[in-house]
């Protein structure tokens, strides 16, 4: 799918706001995977992530009329996703989480040796990610999984761009430490 | 300090590169930024990509929500529709028998359900006078039904008698206008029961009586002796006495 310029994106959003279903579908196609990855990273569960993704786009549908043209659509979209994730965390606050089970199950499934090693490595990364503080998980989920810029992530979490840069650096250092990678 | 800021900026650029599908480590200078950017790429790879079929379902659901004609509807809509159907079925399964049980008579299949409902209501009612009131309502219903139909008469009269006796027992030690009114109502019902039994030839009163048939002396005796004699039982037997076998 070709990259969209800001102007193209703005036009697409305008069309979707005006009730153009094709435009809405295209917005979904363009951003769905990023939102789903972000949600999977935050929730550690593909099924719940799927729910959050659906809820996020339902939120987009409901909120499009209130969306102010000129504001960063991606930041707006991920702010909705961010809130839906927070809702899920609140709802399951009393339940014990099964963290990133999907990734772990995939990692330990049988297969050729290289594939198994790669899967184990992915599971190790996923496990270390889950051990980070929630705010660190959030900033990495937005930047690395959601693919937002530092400025967009800053808008979502309500911090300055500089603070996000520091936070993502610190989070990756901690991730490396969690994985026992030697600091060089 | 400048070095720190440079490292932050370098990492930030590498993450931007990753976001658009590039290789972050290739852009990042050697050293910490490259290691961290590679780790970020590994993290991205560690999170499973969403399944394509889920995307198709989600898209269809979104467009259906937007009012677009989508054949088959969306996953979530179908799921909610299924939940609604299940909820309606459950409601029917519970509400219909419960509604029917409200008019069930002894000897009919729904009678045990009605008794269970009555037990539940009694269990939720702490006031003995109110409990007596509930029992007398049941007794009145049974008596009316006995007048209208002979088919269930034996069991119905016995159950009616039990309800009245149990109500009398609960009213036994209580004074006040409400208790007096319920007691008068119980005596009226007993009189009606006696009248019905006599009109049927007198044999039925003793015949159906679970009180006589059972070994529960006092329950089957009826009449005014029931109210007096069961007064002391009211406190001790309450819900567990006459109601137990009668409602079980």
CATH code of residue A57? 1.10.1740.10
The pLDDT of residue A143 is 95
> What pLDDT is recorded for position B236?
36
Q: Do residues B152 and B34 both lie within one domain?
A: no
pLDDT of residue B234: 37
Q: What is the SS3 string spanning chain B?
A: CHHHHHHHHHHHHHHHHHHCCCCHHHHCCCCHHHHHHHHHHHHHHHCCCCCHHHHHHHHHHHHHHCCCCCCCCCHHHHHHHHHHHHHHHHHHHHHHHHHHHCCCCCCCCCHHHHHHHHHHHHHCCCCHHHHHHHHHHHHHHHHHHHHHCCCCHHHHHHHHHHHHHHHHHHHCCCCCHHHHHHHHHHHHHHHHHHHHHHHCCCHHHHCCCHHHHCCCCCCCCCHHHHHHHCHHHHHHHCCCCCHHHHHC
The reported pLDDT for the residue numbered B193 is 83
Degrees to nearest 5, angle at CA A34 with A85 and B83:
50
C-beta separation of A184 from A137 below 8 A: no
Nearest-by-CA chain A residue for B12: A165
B140 inside domain: yes
**CA–CA distance, B25 with A38 (Å, rounded to integer):** 22
Which of B146, B241, B126 is closest to B189 using CA atoms?
B146
Whole-number Å distance between alpha carbons of B119 and B143: 19
Which residues constitute the domain of residue B21?
A: 2-46
- Of B61, B156, B23, which Cα lies nearest the Cα of A51? B61
pLDDT band at B181 (very low <50, low <70, confident <90, very high): confident
Distance from CA of B34 to the nearest CA of A (A): 11
Token look-up 């590039």 returns B22
The minimal CB distance from B58 to the residues A24, A57, A150 is found for A57
Residue B184 lies in a domain: yes
Name the residue with higher pLDDT: A89 or B231. A89
Residue A103 lies in a domain: no
The verdict on residue B181 lying in a domain is: yes
Give domain status of residue B19, yes or no: yes
A88 within some domain: yes
Flag whether A83 is in a domain: yes
pLDDT band at B210 (very low <50, low <70, confident <90, very high): very low
Is residue A162 assigned to a domain? no
Q: What is the dihedral of CA B236, B241, B243, B245, to 10 degrees?
A: 170
Q: What's the mean pLDDT in B132-139?
A: 86
Looking at residues A104-113, what average pLDDT do you find? 56
Specify whether B123 is located in the same domain as B237: yes
With CB atoms and an 8 Å threshold, state whether B62 touches A143.
no
Q: Is residue B125 part of a domain?
A: yes
For the cut 60, the answer to whether the pLDDT of residue A108 exceeds it is no
Lowest average pLDDT, out of A117-121, B166-170, B190-194, B199-203, goes to B199-203
Asked whether residue A9 is assigned to any structural domain, the reply reads yes
Residue B94 lies in a domain: no
> How far is it, in rounded angstroms, from Cα B122 to Cα B99?
18
The structural domain count of chain A equals 1
Pair B38, B151 in one domain: no
Whole-angstrom Cα distance, residue B132 to residue B166?
7
Is the residue at B167 inside a domain?
A: yes
- Cα separation of the two ends of chain B: 83
Does B61 lie at the interface with A, CB-CB under 8 angstroms? yes
Q: Which residues contact B104 (CB under 8 A, 6 or more apart)?
A: B110, B111, B113, B114
Instruction: State the nearest Cα–Cα gap between A95 and chain B, in angstroms.
Output: 22
State residue B100's pLDDT score: 64
* A11-37 mean pLDDT: 92
Whether A14 maps to a domain, the answer reads yes
Q: pLDDT band at residue A15, thresholds of 50, 70 and 90?
A: very high
Whole-angstrom CA distances from A29 to A80, B44, B198 are 17, 19, 84
- CA torsion B45-B51-B56-B62 (nearest 10°) is -70
Residue B226: CB partners within 8 Å, gap ≥ 6? B164, B165, B168, B190, B218, B219
Among A64-68, B156-160, B183-187, the minimum mean pLDDT is found in: B156-160
Q: In chain B, whose CA is at the least distance from the CA of A50?
A: B54
Domain count of chain B?
2
What are the phi and psi torsion angles at B24 (to 5°)? Answer: -65, -40
Angle, helices B128-148/B177-199, rounded to nearest 10 degrees: 20
Tens digit of each residue's pLDDT (9 = 90 or more) over B78-122: 555 667 777 877 777 766 666 666 667 776 777 777 777 777 778
Query: Are B41 and B118 in a shared domain?
Result: no
The reply to whether B7 falls in a domain is yes
Nearest CA in chain B to A182: B35
Query: What is the pLDDT, as a whole number, of residue B220?
Result: 35
Residue B23 and residue B125 share a domain: no
Residues 6+ apart with CB under 8 A from B237: B169, B230
Structure tokens at B230: 């069961």
How far from each other are the two terminal CA atoms of chain A, in whole angstroms? 39
Tell me whether residues A29 and B58 touch, CB distance under 8 A: no
Q: Report the candidate in A49, A87, A27 with the shortest Cα–Cα distance to residue B66.
A: A27
Structural domain of residue A37, as residue ranges? 1-97
**Rounded mean pLDDT of B211-215?**
38
Is position A49 within any domain? yes
* pLDDT recorded at residue A53: 94
Nearest to B8 among A25, A169, A175 (CB): A169
For the cut 70, the answer to whether the pLDDT of residue B77 exceeds it is no
When pLDDT is averaged across residues A104-127 and rounded to a whole number, the result is: 72
Both B222 and B126 in one domain: the answer is yes
CB-CB neighbors (< 8 A) of A173 in chain B: 36
């Amino acid at each position: 799918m070709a990259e969209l310029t800001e102007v193209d994106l703005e036009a697409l959003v305008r069309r979707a706001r005006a009730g153009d279903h094709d435009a809405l579908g295209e917005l979904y196609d363009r951003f769905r995977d990023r939102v789903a990855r972000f949600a999977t990273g935050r929730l550690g569960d593909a099924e719940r992530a799927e729910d959050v993704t659906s809820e996020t786009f339902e939120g987009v549908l409901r909120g499009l009329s209130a969306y102010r043209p000129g504001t960063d659509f991606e930041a707006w979209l991920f702010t909705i996703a961010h809130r839906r994730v927070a809702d899920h965390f609140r709802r399951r606050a009393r339940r014990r989480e099964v963290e990133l089970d999907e990734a772990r199950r995939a990692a330990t499934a049988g297969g050729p040796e290289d594939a198994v090693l790669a899967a184990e490595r992915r599971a190790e990364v996923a496990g270390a990610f889950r051990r980070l503080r929630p705010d660190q998980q959030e900033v990495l989920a937005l930047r690395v999984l959601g693919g937002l810029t530092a400025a967009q992530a800053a808008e979502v979490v309500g911090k300055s761009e500089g603070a996000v840069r520091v936070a993502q650096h610190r989070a990756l250092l901690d991730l490396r430490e969690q994985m026992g990678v030697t600091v060089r | 300090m400048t070095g720190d800021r440079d490292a932050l900026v370098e990492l930030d650029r590498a993450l931007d590169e990753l976001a658009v599908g590039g290789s972050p480590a290739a852009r990042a200078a050697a050293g910490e930024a490259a290691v961290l950017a590679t780790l970020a790429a590994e993290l991205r790879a560690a999170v499973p990509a969403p399944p394509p079929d889920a995307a198709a379902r989600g898209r269809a659901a979104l467009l259906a929500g937007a009012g677009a004609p989508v054949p088959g509807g969306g996953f979530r809509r179908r799921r909610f529709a299924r939940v609604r159907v299940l909820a309606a079925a459950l409601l029917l399964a519970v509400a219909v028998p419960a509604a029917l049980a409200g008019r069930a008579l002894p000897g009919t299949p729904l009678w045990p359900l009605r008794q269970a409902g009555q037990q539940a209501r009694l269990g939720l009612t702490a006031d003995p006078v109110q409990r007596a009131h509930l029992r007398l309502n049941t007794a009145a219903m049974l008596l009316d039904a006995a007048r209208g139909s002979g088919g269930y008469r034996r069991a119905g009269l016995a159950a009616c008698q039990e309800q009245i006796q149990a109500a009398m027992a609960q009213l036994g030690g209580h004074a006040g206008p409400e208790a007096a009114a319920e007691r008068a109502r119980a005596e009226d019902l007993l009189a009606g029961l006696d009248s019905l039994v006599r009109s049927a030839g007198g044999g039925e009163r003793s015949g159906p009586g679970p009180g006589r048939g059972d070994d529960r002396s006092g329950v089957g005796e009826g009449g005014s002796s029931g109210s007096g004699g069961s007064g002391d039982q009211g406190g001790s037997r309450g819900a567990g006495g006459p109601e137990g076998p009668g409602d079980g």
